[in-house]
Amino acid sequence: MQLRDYQEEARGAVQQEWQSGRKRTLLVLPTGCGKTIVFSKIIEDRVRLGERVLVLAHRSELLEQASDKLMTATGLGTALEKAESTSIGSWFRVVVGSVQTLQREKRLSQFPPNYFDTIIIDEAHHAISDGYQRVLQHFDDSNVLGVTATPDRGDKRNLGQYFDSLAYEYSLVQAIKSGYLSKITAVTIPLTLDLSSVSMQSGDFKASDLGTALDPYLEQIADEMVKQCADRKTVVFLPLVKTSQKFRDILNAKGFRAAEVNGESKDRAEVLEDFDKDKYNVLCNSMLLTEGWDCPSVDCVVVLRPTKVRALYSQMVGRGTRLFPGKENLLLLDFLWHTERHELCRPAHLIAGTEEVAKKMVENMEEEAGALFDIEELEVKSAEDVVAQREEALAKQLEEMRKRKRKLVDPLQFEMSIHAEDLVDYVPGFGWEQSPVSDKQKQTLEKFGIFTDEIGNAGKAAKLLDRLAKRRDEGLTTPKQIRLLERYGFRNVGMWQFDQARSMIDRIAAAGWRCPAGVSPREYQPG
């Protein structure tokens, strides 16, 4: 099976991390971008080296998917470690195992600590839970790969308690731009739902309280759905089974063909198949379909289970991001949940590189409630707004930097010029990122033209180097070009092409190192 370019890059990056001694690494791929095929190929690589591999997951569907994909993509069979099934004595080199089964002391003690050379954790945002940690600590010397779809930097910081590095990340934006995932549109519905009385449990809203809080608004929500998604294929996520069933009935009364599934549904497979075949156009569920279920024709997702956990939010939205013939985009209905105490996940958090940009996106959507937004376009506009606001706040500091006569450009000046909010707000998430900048990193950064004294850690240096290499490959301006042109008063030179900057520098040189006649640097836009 031929891998896509980014999948092959991910495969190589993971192997490189292990070779360099970082034994616990992460791979971040959006839902629908083939994480199972990527780790299947990585498993194949390890088996060829003579290794024994464990695939660890918390749901039967994920174990079955992994086993099926391995066979399809590599021809490798698997042994099962779950309930009454055991892999002990099997000649298969790959074991798919349920964490619920393996974490039991009686089961775990049957395996020597060196039994598995490599462990793959599917849906790695669960990896820091007690059950996973019991298994992972038992096999403490194994190479570990955690695979997750969550794009959230905060989550990765939490995962940094266990993992050593992020081997590779492919963003939702990259996937959409490359045509591998559906475009996403969102509309904010001007219906404010009060969550002030909802208590917290395990870092998120308590489901039973949510159901009670949501109940009075179900009719109004259904009315909004009539307006927004009558012609769409919709999945609705709700906090409780009884709420999900009640909402199904309300939707049917308003003309939808709605069905409901839950963990106890005896006809679950039949209902899902009927939904796939368009017998139903709305599927209500109480958080059953967040992982391990795919229906590419879904083109609308309604999240009526507000959450502050971005991994969970990403999973819900991911049910609708896959491509399908005739599907133009995925629509997200975004309700104005009213809560004073907690920041909720919103469509902005799927795509924004920083919290500041996400906040600006939310503000822009709320200002124009009822308007339809392409979230890619909204992110670009919001990022520009944030850069402008930050530039205004940092005007004096940036002006001083631009006037300095040193040969190297200050990191902050470079980051602001290229609109790199993710670099400005960077926080190290893994142990190695917190270590000092290495001599090799300093030398390479200075060759690029970056002043290194103010770069606080190796992680920030690595991100800067990665960004500089990508900019060079894309033919964008160098730090030295930015430094020179911004000294003459040109703005946002970081967004120019290399050739555009070179042309202007040639014109300045020809004018005796003065600004060319008729050019106003502050207003100048190349091309």
pLDDT tens-place string over residues 6-25: 999 999 999 999 999 999 99
In order of 123, 189, 258, 359, 372, the CA distances from 348 in angstroms are 22, 15, 28, 8, 13
Token pair 């403490």 is found at 140
The identity of residue 402, as a single letter, is: R
Task: Please give the pLDDT value at position 154.
Answer: 53
pLDDT in tens, 473-521: 999 999 999 989 998 999 889 999 999 999 999 999 999 999 999 999 9
| Residue 151 banded pLDDT, cuts 50, 70, 90 | very low
Angle, in degrees to the nearest 10, between helices 395-403 and 375-393: 80
Rg of the chain taking only CA atoms, in angstroms: 26
Q: N- to C-terminal Cα distance for the chain?
A: 43
Burial class (CB in 10 A: 0-12, 13-18, 19+), 61: exposed
pLDDT in tens, 420-434: 888 888 888 888 888
pLDDT in tens, 213-270: 889 999 999 999 999 999 999 999 999 999 999 999 999 999 999 999 988 888 988 9
Task: Please give the pLDDT value at position 450.
Answer: 94
Among 374, 433, 27, CA closest to 182: 374
Average pLDDT (396-405) is 78
7-11, 146-150, 154-158 — most confident range? 7-11
pLDDT of residue 122 exceeding 50: yes
The identity of residue 451, as a single letter, is: F
pLDDT of residue 121 exceeding 80: yes
Least confident of 71-85, 183-197, 271-285, 312-326: 183-197
57-66, 158-167, 331-340, 368-377 — most confident range? 368-377
Domain annotation for the chain: domains and CATH numbers:
5-170 (3.40.50.300), 184-375 (3.40.50.300), 394-510 (no CATH)
pLDDT of residue 342 exceeding 70: no
b/e per residue, 425-463, with b = 16+ CB within 10 A? bbebbbebbeeebeeebbebbeebbbbbeebebbbbbbb
Q: pTM for this one? A: 0.83
Token pair 């395990």 is found at 202
Token pair 């020179």 is found at 484
pLDDT of residue 46 exceeding 70: yes
